[in-house]
Amino acid sequence: MKNEIKIFSPATVANVSCGFDVLGFALDTVGDEMIIRKVPQKGIQITKINDQNLPLETNKNVAGVAALALLAETNIEFGFEIEINKKIKPGSGIGSSAASSAGAVWAINELLGSPFNTTDLVRFAMEGEKLASGEAHADNVAPAIFGGFTLIRSYNPLDIIKIPTPKDLIVTIIHPQIEIKTSEARKLLSQTVSLKNATKQWANVGGLISGLHTNDYDLIGRSLQDFVAEPVRSKLIPGFNKLKQTCLETGALGCGISGSGPSIFVLSKGEKKALEVSEAMKTVYNKVGIAYDLHVSKVNNKGIKILDTK
């Protein structure tokens, strides 16, 4: 049995425009690093985390809570230590808490010889999400664990579907340095959707899923429309409309809010176009006058990756 594992746990984009609360995908070059070590002491200890605002207490850290949910379904006589090197800023809207929750349970499962399947791991990681946001949602932890695009078809029973990822799909993420509380972004949403908008929304979900299956980039682009969350949430992100318009004019496939924001994701076909779009985004956002981070990444089809084992 291996004693220690070092992993990369990816940032993720949830919602993906038309897929509010059900679709997500994983990034390839943005993510946290974690070391998980088997120790004689039972239970979970978070021994290191490089973000002073995040708690070391097992019950307050999403990695600890998710890992305890897994351990509760085993009868092992030892425990684990977790070190977290956070590279995804909490509250950025690209699944910071999900990366820690998903990484912890995935790595422990590896060290135990994989007794649990990927859907079980999502179920455990969802306990971490419940701690972070009050709701046990799976739209970030599922793509982190499965890789690529995922669809949460149902929560009860939990039914997660992995969707194929066209190989030339490149994502640009811009993270304006403002805070949007998920709870605030949720409060803006109406509890009802008109039949007209619901019809447009599920037509686009179908189009997006079909486009991903058939490598039809134009169909993917046409389907990246959101009639539910974006019209109200985009008002919280300065410069959103101008940025979106510029990305589409520069030839991006589509653009939307990542999770509940403030990060914005843009999908392009091929690296050359993605870099051109990224430059246009910088030009627009420099004028908005808010500091930002920008990342360009492939869609990560594997999810969590092993960096080292001992």
Residues in contact with ligand ADP by CB under 6 A are 54, 61-63, 84, 90-97, 100, 132-133, 182, 259
**Shorter beta-carbon distance to ligand ADP: residue 254 or 262:** 262
Q: Minimal distance in Å, beta carbon 133 to ligand ADP?
A: 6
**Shorter beta-carbon distance to ligand ADP: residue 122 or 280:** 122
Active site residue 182: yes
CA angle 248, 302, 244 (to 5 degrees): 15
SS3 170: strand
User: What is d(CA 297, CA 175) in angstroms, rounded to the nearest whole number?
Assistant: 14
**What are the distances in angstroms from CA 89 to CA 5, 31, 94, 195, 244?**
23, 10, 8, 37, 23
Q: Minimal distance in Å, beta carbon 264 to ligand ADP?
A: 13
Closest-CA residue to 44 (of 89, 74, 14): 74
What interhelical angle do 240-249 and 271-288 show, nearest 10?
150
**Shorter beta-carbon distance to ligand ADP: residue 181 or 213:** 181
- CB of 58 closer than 8 Å to CB of 64: yes
Q: Minimal distance in Å, beta carbon 228 to ligand ADP?
A: 19
**Shorter beta-carbon distance to ligand ADP: residue 248 or 294:** 294
**Shorter beta-carbon distance to ligand ADP: residue 31 or 239:** 31
Out of 118, 182, 246, 250, pick the active-site residue: 182
User: What is the DSSP annotation of 43-96?
Assistant: EEEEEEES-TTS--STTTSHHHHHHHHHHTT---S-EEEEEEE--SPTTSSS-H
Q: For tokens 């420099």, name the residue.
A: 286
Out of 129, 165, 230, 250, pick the active-site residue: 129
Q: Which residues are known to be catalytic? A: 129, 182
